[in-house]
Amino acid sequence: EAGVVQSPRYKIIEKKQPVAFWCNPISGHNTLYWYRQNLGQGPELLIRYENEEAVDDSQLPKDRFSAERLKGVDSTLKIQPAELGDSAVYLCASSPHLAGAEQFFGPGTRLTVL
Amino acid sequence: QKEVEQNSGPLSVPEGAIASLNCTYSDRVSQSFFWYRQYSGKSPELIMSIYSNGDKEDGRFTAQLNKASQYVSLLIRDSQPSDSATYLCAVNLGAQKLVFGQGTRLTINP
């Protein structure tokens, strides 16, 4: 069974530029998560989708971040414009739609904003 | 108080010994608990999940949960150099909201 797929794996941009990350979850997993992980810290949730609906985006900085999951499968996270403080690893995870279900992570995208 | 707290370490353990990693959480209604292992430059990998009080064993790993004390731990027996990694405790706070601790960096010394 294929795991969570993310692209790109690495991205270097200058501040004020836009950037987008893509995620394809494990087949059959209705729930998709985007996390941000700073160095030396645990992942922090940005947004959670149940199918195509964003059910928890309370931690998403909506002035510059946006996300979509139009067909309830793959998802895109966008930052526009990027700031220096956005440098981090952006992780996508997925899980079945079950209470307390385990989450499985993709390889992540390491973003560097110069 | 943070929702999930771990000692950031580093924790250094000799090869073959037992490594003990600890985690406390603040929400009494939490029902599911997870340990993830994260190698440097890699993404978190699920290694253990535990849902009820007591111990759960899987190979060299044992997860222990005490809901009354709001405490979950991970024991690694016969530690190997390949166990050197950061271990993340994660607690489900309900509605599938997983909150992670900052992780404990573990080093196994040959």
Strands B54-58 and B45-50: unpaired
Cα A83-A85-A87 angle, rounded to 5 deg: 95
B chain contacts of residue A102, beta-carbon cutoff 8 Å: 34, 46, 49
Q: Which of helix, strand or coil describes residue A28?
A: coil
Residue B89 and residue B71 in contact, taking contact as beta carbons nearer than 8 Å: no
Give the pLDDT band (50/70/90) at residue A112: very high
Residue A6 confidence (pLDDT) above 70: yes
Contacts with A34 from chain B: Cβ below 8 Å: none
Which whole-number Å values give the CA distances from B41 to A20, A63, B62, in the listed order?
A: 20, 29, 25
Look at residue B18 in the predicted model and tell me its pLDDT: 97
**Cα–Cα distance list, A65 to A93, B1, B67, B100 (Å):** 18, 28, 37, 22
Q: Does B98 touch chain A (CB under 8 A)?
A: yes
Average pLDDT over residues A29-53: 94
pLDDT-derived band at B31, boundaries 50, 70, 90 = confident
pLDDT over 90, % of chain B: 82
Mean pLDDT of all residues in chain B? 93
Arithmetic mean of pLDDT over chain A = 94
Task: For B40-51, write each residue's pLDDT tens digit.
Answer: 999 999 999 999
Predicted confidence (pLDDT) per residue in A50-73, tens digit: 999 999 999 999 999 999 998 889
